[in-house]
Amino acid sequence: MDKTQLGEFVKSLKPDAIVTDGKQYTEVTVADTELHSLAKKLRESEETWFDFLVCLTGVDYGKDFGVIYHLKSTRYEHMIVLKTRTSEREKPVLNSVCDIWKGAEFHEREVYDLLGVKFNHHPDLRRLFLDSSWGFPLRKDYVDDINIVSK
């Protein structure tokens, strides 16, 4: 499917989703509660078959956190970008997609480690690089007063 067909297909699955035509890929923004069901449908329906989770990125947007999923279909070679945002900054929680793509397990642990976004139903959500006494370094309000990275 090309970019516009993908957008229409997502619209038929989730009428609430915001579909934008990005420079490279179709970008879909959905609510955090809707994300898991949409991802599962995109993975399982025969027309889209997004079986390869290419990249999972956590972003600090200031008032909330976002997670961006780059998906690819190895059968049809098309790609799509899913975006979602947590509902709050204090206790950010999203649903895990580990049951859809096994590779998400490490990606989500990394996002939890560096941004502090928790994932429901994750089989093994522990800190990955840092120990539990660290803050969450990729947050924009993280203060690092000894290292050169502080502006």
Written as six digits, the tokens of 87 are: 């509902």
The verdict on 151 binding other proteins (CB under 8 A) reads: yes
CB of 8 to other proteins, least distance (A): 22
C-alpha gyration radius of the chain: 16
User: What is the per-residue binding string for other proteins in 102-141, x denoting contact by CB under 8 A?
Assistant: xx-xxx--x---x-------------xxx------xx---
Written as six digits, the tokens of 6 are: 């993908």
The verdict on 57 binding other proteins (CB under 8 A) reads: yes
The verdict on 70 binding other proteins (CB under 8 A) reads: yes
Q: Is 57 helix (H, G, I), strand (E, B) or coil?
A: strand
CB of 59 to other proteins, least distance (A): 5
CB of 106 to other proteins, least distance (A): 4
Written as six digits, the tokens of 107 are: 């990606």
Instruction: Give me the long-range contacts of 72-77 (CB less than 8 A, separation at least 24).
Output: 73/48, 73/49, 74/49, 75/49, 75/51, 76/1, 76/48, 76/49
Q: Which residues between 9 and 48 bind other proteins (CB under 8 A)?
A: 22-25
> How, if at all, do strands 18-21 and 26-30 pair?
antiparallel
User: Where on the chain is the footprint of other proteins (CB under 8 A)?
Assistant: 22-25, 51-55, 57, 59-60, 68, 70, 74, 77, 81, 101-103, 105-107, 110, 114, 128-130, 137-138, 142, 144, 148-151
